[in-house]
Amino acid sequence: MNIAKNKIDIRSLSLNALQEHFIRMDEKSFRAKQVYEWLWKKSCFSFNEMSNISKELRTKLDENFVINNVKINTSQVSADKTIKNSFILHDTHLIEGVLIPTPGRMTACVSSQVGCSLTCKFCATGYMERKRNLNPDEIYDQVVLIDQQARENYGIPLSNIVYMGMGEPLLNYKNVIDSIERITAEDGLNMSPKRITVSTAGIAKMIKKLGDDEVKFNLALSLHAANDEKRNTIMPINEQNSLKALAEALKYYYAKTKNPVTYEYIIFDGVNDGIQDAMELAKFCKHLPCKVNIIEYNPISFASYINADEDKVEAFANYLTKQGINTHLRRSRGKDIDAACGQLAIKEKSKTVEV
């Protein structure tokens, strides 16, 4: 354990920084590019597997660097073939990620933090303490492992990635952006940014930063109410990020990126399921091009919310559609194994592992 602590996390280095380390080790700088390719393009977790690198250099790498790769701790398979994973990190923290197979797509739902600090009242992760942010490579590893799972179990590679697991992605902004850069880079996983969606509870200033950075991936906002009083109750983050502030930030984001926004809306029984709520949502949708995903609620033991009746959900969706709003009803996947939206929460303790 102490030896590993003295080593450099090799995936925290840019290619230029790695080349500088190689020069200091009296190695050719082009060797750094070979190693970099093994780390990112080939998703290699062991120096010994780098077959075009000499044994002597592999030994040097092992003496000076460490690959802090994520490992699958446990996996559960749902009746609908969704697979929920508990991942163990190098420091023994646990996170969760999900493989969601649906007709026409294979989606990885990945986490961006260990726990969460936002305390959304309907979300199991919100009742956990936020331990730390995930590093870019820890997010990347979730994608790699879930892709392997998709290929091994269903013979189909990943087609989509959603940052909708544990944590608030925009409160881990740099690492999330860096992870997407590695996932979409030609010398990384080479996935299209249009296949990636980052979901936020609504941090207005960071939404504006996404616009300034002219990101190419998709943005989803967990809205759940278009009324400040109701949203404050459901999502305390709204007290510092009002609907007016979010609307301004989203309009700024759209002006910079021309990317439509997706609004996620869970309909809770007796809370936000009325036609008045639908009218308020329709009004909010007029700010910029968007679509609405109406999501089935998945009850958790920490909260008293329940899913709205089917007829109310249909009436809500029909109202939005009649207002010309692109509206989709999303059915939950994996709720029998607590893998559905809002259900991710570690129920086991971190394990002590050899590092």
Instruction: For 160-205, give the DSSP string.
Output: EEEE-SSS-GGGGHHHHHHHHHHHHSTTTT---GGGEEEEES--HH
Question: How far apart, in Å, do the first and last CA atoms of the chain sit?
Answer: 5
Which CATH number applies to 71-337? 3.20.20.70
Whether the Cβ atoms of residue 275 and residue 320 lie closer than 8 Å to each other: no
Contact of 165 with 94, CB cutoff 8 Å: no
Which residues define the annotated binding site? 116, 120, 123, 167-168, 199, 222-224, 298
- Using DSSP bridges, classify how beta strands 65-66 and 71-77 pair: parallel, antiparallel or unpaired: unpaired
Which pLDDT score is estimated for 352? 32
pLDDT at 349: 45
Q: Annotated binding site for S-adenosyl-L-methionine: which residue ranges?
A: 167-168, 199, 222-224, 298
Could you give the CA distance from residue 51 to residue 38 in angstroms, rounded to a whole number? 9
| Residues noted as catalytic | 96, 341
The pLDDT, as a whole number, for residue 342 is 44
CATH class of 8-66: mainly alpha
- Report whether 159 contacts 107 (CB < 8 A): yes
Rounded Cα distance, 148 and 162, in Å:
17
CATH 3.20.20.70 region(s) of the chain?
Answer: 71-337
How far apart are the C-alpha atoms of 29 and 16, rounded to whole Å?
9
The CATH 1.10.150.530 domain(s) of the chain lie at 8-66
- The reported pLDDT for the residue numbered 122 is 81
Instruction: Find the length of the chain.
Output: 355
Non-local CB neighbours of 290 within 8 Å, separated by 6+ positions: 260, 261, 262, 263, 325, 326
- pTM for the model: 0.90
Q: What pLDDT, on the 0 to 100 scale, is given for residue 73?
A: 95
Give the torsion through C-alpha atoms of 210, 212, 193, 36, to 10 deg. Answer: -100
User: In this predicted model, what pLDDT tens digit does every residue of 53-104 receive, in sequence order?
Assistant: 999 999 999 999 999 999 999 999 988 899 999 999 999 999 999 999 998 8
- What span, in angstroms and rounded, lies between the C-alpha atoms of 40 and 34? 10
- SS3 of 28, please? coil
The pLDDT of residue 218 is 98
- Segments in the chain below pLDDT 70: 1-5, 126, 301-302, 332-355
Q: Are 252 and 261 a contacting pair, CB within 8 Å?
A: no
Q: Which residues are annotated as a binding site for [4Fe-4S] cluster?
A: 116, 120, 123
- In the structure encoding, which two tokens stand for residue 25, read together? 């080790």
The pLDDT of residue 354 is: 30
